[in-house]
Protein backbone atom coordinates (compact mmCIF):
# COMPACT_ATOMS: atom_id res chain seq x y z
CA UNK A 1 0.00 0.00 0.00
CA UNK A 2 1.38 3.39 -0.98
CA UNK A 3 0.26 6.11 1.42
CA UNK A 4 1.82 8.89 -0.67
CA UNK A 5 2.76 7.98 -4.26
CA UNK A 6 4.96 11.02 -4.87
CA UNK A 7 7.51 12.90 -2.79
CA UNK A 8 9.73 15.88 -3.47
CA UNK A 9 13.27 16.89 -2.54
CA UNK A 10 14.35 20.52 -2.76
CA UNK A 11 17.22 22.84 -1.90
CA UNK A 12 17.83 26.59 -2.14
CA UNK A 13 20.93 28.65 -2.83
CA UNK A 14 21.32 32.31 -1.94
CA UNK A 15 23.37 35.42 -2.59
CA UNK A 16 25.23 36.65 0.49
CA UNK A 17 25.01 40.43 0.53
CA UNK A 18 26.98 42.34 3.14
CA UNK A 19 24.97 44.85 5.17
CA UNK A 20 27.38 46.23 7.73
CA UNK A 21 30.19 45.32 10.09
CA UNK A 22 30.68 46.10 13.75
CA UNK A 23 32.83 45.04 16.67
CA UNK A 24 31.51 43.13 19.63
CA UNK A 25 32.48 43.66 23.27
CA UNK A 26 35.61 41.57 22.75
CA UNK A 27 36.76 43.72 19.86
CA UNK A 28 36.08 41.06 17.25
CA UNK A 29 34.71 42.44 13.99
CA UNK A 30 31.41 40.88 12.95
CA UNK A 31 29.78 41.19 9.55
CA UNK A 32 26.03 41.27 9.04
CA UNK A 33 24.75 39.90 5.74
CA UNK A 34 21.46 39.31 3.97
CA UNK A 35 20.82 35.94 2.35
CA UNK A 36 18.84 36.48 -0.84
CA UNK A 37 17.57 33.33 -2.62
CA UNK A 38 19.02 33.09 -6.11
CA UNK A 39 17.95 29.61 -7.17
CA UNK A 40 16.66 26.19 -6.26
CA UNK A 41 16.73 22.56 -7.32
CA UNK A 42 13.66 20.33 -7.19
CA UNK A 43 13.07 16.66 -7.95
CA UNK A 44 9.88 14.58 -7.76
CA UNK A 45 10.22 10.85 -7.03
CA UNK A 46 7.44 8.29 -7.45
CA UNK A 47 6.50 5.27 -5.33
CA UNK A 48 9.00 3.10 -7.23
CA UNK A 49 11.90 5.41 -6.43
CA UNK A 50 12.14 6.82 -9.95
CA UNK A 51 12.59 10.51 -10.72
CA UNK A 52 9.57 11.64 -12.74
CA UNK A 53 10.33 15.36 -12.88
CA UNK A 54 13.17 17.66 -11.94
CA UNK A 55 14.06 21.29 -12.42
CA UNK A 56 16.81 23.77 -11.62
CA UNK A 57 16.23 27.50 -11.48
CA UNK A 58 18.70 30.32 -10.94
CA UNK A 59 18.79 34.07 -11.44
CA UNK A 60 21.21 36.98 -11.27
CA UNK A 61 18.47 39.42 -10.28
CA UNK A 62 18.32 40.08 -6.54
CA UNK A 63 14.81 41.51 -6.88
CA UNK A 64 13.35 38.34 -8.36
CA UNK A 65 11.04 36.43 -6.01
CA UNK A 66 12.67 33.01 -6.30
CA UNK A 67 10.59 31.47 -3.50
CA UNK A 68 7.36 32.47 -5.27
CA UNK A 69 8.62 30.90 -8.51
CA UNK A 70 9.47 27.76 -6.54
CA UNK A 71 5.94 27.54 -5.11
CA UNK A 72 4.42 27.98 -8.57
CA UNK A 73 6.70 25.25 -9.90
CA UNK A 74 6.05 22.63 -7.21
CA UNK A 75 2.30 23.30 -6.91
CA UNK A 76 1.84 23.04 -10.66
CA UNK A 77 3.67 19.72 -10.68
CA UNK A 78 1.71 18.46 -7.67
CA UNK A 79 -1.55 19.18 -9.48
CA UNK A 80 -0.35 16.98 -12.33
CA UNK A 81 0.69 14.22 -9.89
CA UNK A 82 -2.73 14.25 -8.25
CA UNK A 83 -4.39 13.75 -11.63
CA UNK A 84 -2.04 10.86 -12.37
CA UNK A 85 -2.72 9.33 -8.93
CA UNK A 86 -6.49 9.47 -9.45
CA UNK A 87 -6.13 7.82 -12.84
CA UNK A 88 -3.91 5.08 -11.40
CA UNK A 89 -6.40 4.40 -8.60
CA UNK A 90 -9.26 4.10 -11.07
CA UNK A 91 -7.30 1.66 -13.22
CA UNK A 92 -6.01 -0.43 -10.31
CA UNK A 93 -9.47 -0.74 -8.73
CA UNK A 94 -10.86 -2.21 -11.96
CA UNK A 95 -8.07 -4.67 -12.69
CA UNK A 96 -6.19 -6.02 -9.68
CA UNK A 97 -3.13 -8.02 -10.71
CA UNK A 98 -3.44 -11.44 -9.07
CA UNK A 99 -3.12 -15.06 -10.10
CA UNK A 100 -6.69 -16.28 -10.87
CA UNK A 101 -6.15 -19.57 -9.04
CA UNK A 102 -4.90 -17.76 -5.94
CA UNK A 103 -7.84 -15.37 -6.09
CA UNK A 104 -10.41 -18.17 -6.27
CA UNK A 105 -8.70 -20.11 -3.48
CA UNK A 106 -8.67 -17.07 -1.18
CA UNK A 107 -12.32 -16.27 -1.91
CA UNK A 108 -13.28 -19.80 -0.96
CA UNK A 109 -11.20 -19.64 2.22
CA UNK A 110 -12.80 -16.32 3.21
CA UNK A 111 -16.27 -17.85 2.85
CA UNK A 112 -15.53 -21.16 4.57
CA UNK A 113 -12.88 -20.55 7.26
CA UNK A 114 -11.06 -17.19 7.36
CA UNK A 115 -9.28 -18.20 10.58
CA UNK A 116 -6.83 -20.27 8.50
CA UNK A 117 -5.74 -17.28 6.42
CA UNK A 118 -2.55 -15.30 6.98
CA UNK A 119 -3.00 -12.36 9.40
CA UNK A 120 -4.15 -8.91 8.31
CA UNK A 121 -1.58 -7.10 6.16
CA UNK A 122 -1.81 -3.99 8.36
CA UNK A 123 -2.64 -4.83 11.97
CA UNK A 124 -1.30 -8.40 12.03
CA UNK A 125 -4.41 -9.79 13.74
CA UNK A 126 -5.92 -13.10 12.68
CA UNK A 127 -9.22 -13.10 10.83
CA UNK A 128 -12.31 -14.58 12.46
CA UNK A 129 -15.61 -15.96 11.24
CA UNK A 130 -18.37 -13.39 10.91
CA UNK A 131 -21.75 -14.02 12.47
CA UNK A 132 -24.91 -14.11 10.36
CA UNK A 133 -25.86 -10.75 11.84
CA UNK A 134 -22.56 -9.21 10.68
CA UNK A 135 -22.90 -10.76 7.21
CA UNK A 136 -26.40 -9.30 6.84
CA UNK A 137 -25.01 -5.76 7.06
CA UNK A 138 -23.83 -3.67 4.13
CA UNK A 139 -20.29 -4.40 2.97
CA UNK A 140 -18.92 -1.12 4.34
CA UNK A 141 -20.39 -2.00 7.75
CA UNK A 142 -18.43 -5.24 8.07
CA UNK A 143 -15.18 -3.93 9.64
CA UNK A 144 -13.74 -7.38 10.45
CA UNK A 145 -14.32 -8.97 7.07
CA UNK A 146 -11.27 -10.10 5.10
CA UNK A 147 -10.87 -8.17 1.85
CA UNK A 148 -8.36 -8.16 -0.98
CA UNK A 149 -5.68 -5.49 -0.71
CA UNK A 150 -3.91 -4.13 -3.78
CA UNK A 151 -1.36 -1.44 -4.50
CA UNK A 152 -3.34 1.62 -5.57
CA UNK A 153 -0.66 2.62 -8.06
CA UNK A 154 0.52 -0.61 -9.68
CA UNK A 155 -2.63 -2.65 -9.07
CA UNK A 156 -0.60 -5.60 -7.71
CA UNK A 157 -2.20 -7.83 -5.08
CA UNK A 158 -0.50 -7.36 -1.70
CA UNK A 159 -2.47 -9.58 0.65
CA UNK A 160 -5.63 -9.68 2.73
CA UNK A 161 -6.69 -7.08 5.27
CA UNK A 162 -9.58 -6.26 7.55
CA UNK A 163 -12.12 -4.09 5.82
CA UNK A 164 -11.60 -1.37 8.45
CA UNK A 165 -7.80 -1.45 8.04
CA UNK A 166 -8.08 -1.24 4.28
CA UNK A 167 -10.35 1.81 4.46
CA UNK A 168 -8.08 3.57 6.96
CA UNK A 169 -5.06 3.04 4.71
CA UNK A 170 -6.35 5.04 1.78
CA UNK A 171 -3.84 6.88 -0.38
CA UNK A 172 -2.79 10.26 0.98
CA UNK A 173 -3.23 13.39 -1.13
CA UNK A 174 -0.55 15.48 0.58
CA UNK A 175 2.94 14.94 -0.83
CA UNK A 176 5.95 15.59 1.40
CA UNK A 177 8.78 17.84 0.28
CA UNK A 178 12.05 17.17 2.12
CA UNK A 179 14.60 19.93 2.49
CA UNK A 180 17.77 19.49 4.55
CA UNK A 181 18.01 22.04 7.37
CA UNK A 182 14.62 23.48 6.42
CA UNK A 183 13.95 24.53 10.01
CA UNK A 184 17.03 26.74 10.32
CA UNK A 185 17.57 28.02 6.78
CA UNK A 186 15.35 27.33 3.75
CA UNK A 187 12.09 27.90 5.63
CA UNK A 188 12.93 31.61 6.00
CA UNK A 189 12.84 32.02 2.21
CA UNK A 190 9.61 30.08 1.82
CA UNK A 191 7.65 31.65 4.67
CA UNK A 192 8.41 35.14 3.37
CA UNK A 193 6.71 34.17 0.10
CA UNK A 194 3.45 33.11 1.77
CA UNK A 195 0.27 34.87 0.71
CA UNK A 196 -3.42 34.30 1.44
CA UNK A 197 -3.78 31.84 -1.44
CA UNK A 198 -1.22 29.51 0.19
CA UNK A 199 -3.62 28.60 3.01
CA UNK A 200 -0.54 27.56 4.99
CA UNK A 201 -0.66 25.46 8.16
CA UNK A 202 2.48 25.73 10.29
CA UNK A 203 3.91 23.58 13.09
CA UNK A 204 6.34 25.97 14.83
CA UNK A 205 9.32 25.23 17.05
CA UNK A 206 9.60 28.90 17.97
CA UNK A 207 8.68 32.27 16.51
CA UNK A 208 11.59 31.97 14.05
CA UNK A 209 11.87 28.24 13.39
CA UNK A 210 9.26 25.93 11.91
CA UNK A 211 9.26 22.16 12.21
CA UNK A 212 6.93 21.69 9.25
CA UNK A 213 4.31 23.53 7.22
CA UNK A 214 1.67 22.55 4.70
CA UNK A 215 0.68 24.64 1.68
CA UNK A 216 -2.79 24.47 0.08
CA UNK A 217 -3.29 21.08 1.69
CA UNK A 218 -1.15 19.66 -1.11
CA UNK A 219 2.52 19.90 -0.11
CA UNK A 220 3.94 19.30 3.37
CA UNK A 221 7.45 20.66 3.84
CA UNK A 222 9.61 18.62 6.22
CA UNK A 223 13.16 18.96 7.48
CA UNK A 224 15.21 15.85 6.65
CA UNK A 225 17.76 17.01 9.24
CA UNK A 226 15.22 15.98 11.90
CA UNK A 227 15.91 12.30 11.21
CA UNK A 228 19.27 12.52 9.39
CA UNK A 229 21.06 14.81 11.82
CA UNK A 230 24.29 15.32 9.94
CA UNK A 231 25.55 17.50 7.12
CA UNK A 232 24.90 16.49 3.53
CA UNK A 233 28.66 16.11 3.11
CA UNK A 234 28.88 13.55 5.93
CA UNK A 235 25.78 11.70 4.75
CA UNK A 236 27.18 11.50 1.23
CA UNK A 237 30.56 10.25 2.45
CA UNK A 238 28.87 7.60 4.61
CA UNK A 239 26.84 6.35 1.67
CA UNK A 240 29.89 6.40 -0.62
CA UNK A 241 31.75 4.02 1.69
CA UNK A 242 29.28 1.30 0.79
CA UNK A 243 28.87 1.82 -2.93
CA UNK A 244 28.52 4.81 -5.23
CA UNK A 245 25.86 2.83 -7.11
CA UNK A 246 23.50 3.84 -4.29
CA UNK A 247 23.25 7.33 -5.81
CA UNK A 248 20.72 6.18 -8.37
CA UNK A 249 18.80 9.44 -8.77
CA UNK A 250 21.97 11.52 -9.00
CA UNK A 251 23.30 9.32 -11.77
CA UNK A 252 19.94 9.10 -13.50
CA UNK A 253 19.57 12.88 -13.72
CA UNK A 254 23.15 14.09 -14.06
CA UNK A 255 24.63 11.05 -15.78
CA UNK A 256 22.91 11.72 -19.10
CA UNK A 257 23.60 14.72 -21.31
CA UNK A 258 19.99 15.03 -22.47
CA UNK A 259 18.79 15.19 -18.85
CA UNK A 260 21.27 17.95 -18.02
CA UNK A 261 20.02 19.97 -20.98
CA UNK A 262 16.46 19.34 -19.82
CA UNK A 263 17.34 20.85 -16.44
CA UNK A 264 18.02 24.15 -18.13
CA UNK A 265 14.96 23.80 -20.37
CA UNK A 266 16.88 23.62 -23.61
CA UNK A 267 17.57 21.03 -26.24
CA UNK A 268 20.76 20.27 -28.09
CA UNK A 269 22.05 18.89 -31.34
CA UNK A 270 23.35 15.34 -31.49
CA UNK A 271 26.90 16.70 -31.54
CA UNK A 272 26.30 18.91 -28.47
CA UNK A 273 24.83 15.98 -26.56
CA UNK A 274 27.76 13.77 -27.54
CA UNK A 275 30.32 16.42 -26.50
CA UNK A 276 28.57 17.00 -23.18
CA UNK A 277 28.34 13.26 -22.48
CA UNK A 278 32.13 12.98 -22.74
CA UNK A 279 32.58 15.68 -20.09
CA UNK A 280 30.18 14.23 -17.52
CA UNK A 281 31.76 13.02 -14.28
CA UNK A 282 29.01 12.28 -11.76
CA UNK A 283 31.55 11.38 -9.06
CA UNK A 284 32.49 15.07 -8.82
CA UNK A 285 28.95 15.75 -7.57
CA UNK A 286 29.60 13.46 -4.61
CA UNK A 287 32.38 15.69 -3.30
CA UNK A 288 32.29 18.85 -1.24
CA UNK A 289 33.24 21.78 -3.44
CA UNK A 290 34.43 25.29 -2.68
CA UNK A 291 31.61 27.71 -3.40
CA UNK A 292 32.24 31.50 -3.51
CA UNK A 293 29.18 32.60 -1.54
CA UNK A 294 30.68 35.92 -0.43
CA UNK A 295 31.50 36.85 -4.04
CA UNK A 296 27.95 36.28 -5.31
CA UNK A 297 26.85 39.87 -4.85
CA distances from 230 to 118, 183, 236 (A): 41, 14, 10
Residue at a domain's end among 126, 145, 168: 168
Q: Region 40-60: what's the mean pLDDT?
A: 92
Tell me the per-residue pLDDT of 204-256, one tens digit each, with 9 for 90 and over: 988 889 999 999 999 999 999 999 999 988 998 888 887 767 888 888 888 88
Q: Region 145-156: what's the mean pLDDT?
A: 89
Show the domain range for 239.
232-288
Residue 29 lies in a domain: no
| pLDDT > 70? residue 48 | yes
State the Cα–Cα distance between residues 72 and 62, nearest whole angstrom.
Answer: 19
pLDDT of the residue at 66: 96
pLDDT of the residue at 295: 60
At residue 120 the predicted structure's pLDDT band, cuts being 50, 70 and 90, is: very high
At residue 95 the predicted structure's pLDDT band, cuts being 50, 70 and 90, is: confident
Residue 131 lies in a domain: yes
Angle formed at CA 10 by CA 31 and CA 242, multiple of 5 degrees: 100
| pLDDT > 60? residue 296 | no
Alpha helices in the chain (DSSP H): 66-94, 100-112, 132-135, 163-168, 187-191, 232-242, 248-254, 257-263, 270-279
Split into its structural domains, the chain has a count of 2
**Cβ contacts of residue 110 below 8 Å, gap of 6+?**
117, 127, 145, 146, 160
Residue 136 lies in a domain: yes
Q: Region 19-40: what's the mean pLDDT?
A: 82
CB 64 within 8 A of CB 74: no
DSSP-derived secondary structure letter, 194:
-
Residue 118 lies in a domain: yes
Residue 78 lies in a domain: no
pLDDT of the residue at 165: 92
CB neighbour burial string for 281-293, b if at least 16 within 10 angstroms, e if fewer: eeeeeeeeeeeee
Angle formed at CA 243 by CA 241 and CA 246, multiple of 5 degrees: 120
pLDDT of the residue at 294: 58
Amino acid sequence: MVRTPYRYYADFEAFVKRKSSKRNVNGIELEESDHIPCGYALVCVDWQGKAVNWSVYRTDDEEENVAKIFFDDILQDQKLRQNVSELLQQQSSKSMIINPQLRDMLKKQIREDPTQLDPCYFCGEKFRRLSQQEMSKLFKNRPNMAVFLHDHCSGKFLGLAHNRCNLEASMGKISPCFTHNLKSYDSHFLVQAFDESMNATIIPCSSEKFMSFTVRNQIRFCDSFSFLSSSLENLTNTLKKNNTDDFKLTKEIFGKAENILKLYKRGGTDQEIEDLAQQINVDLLLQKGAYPYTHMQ
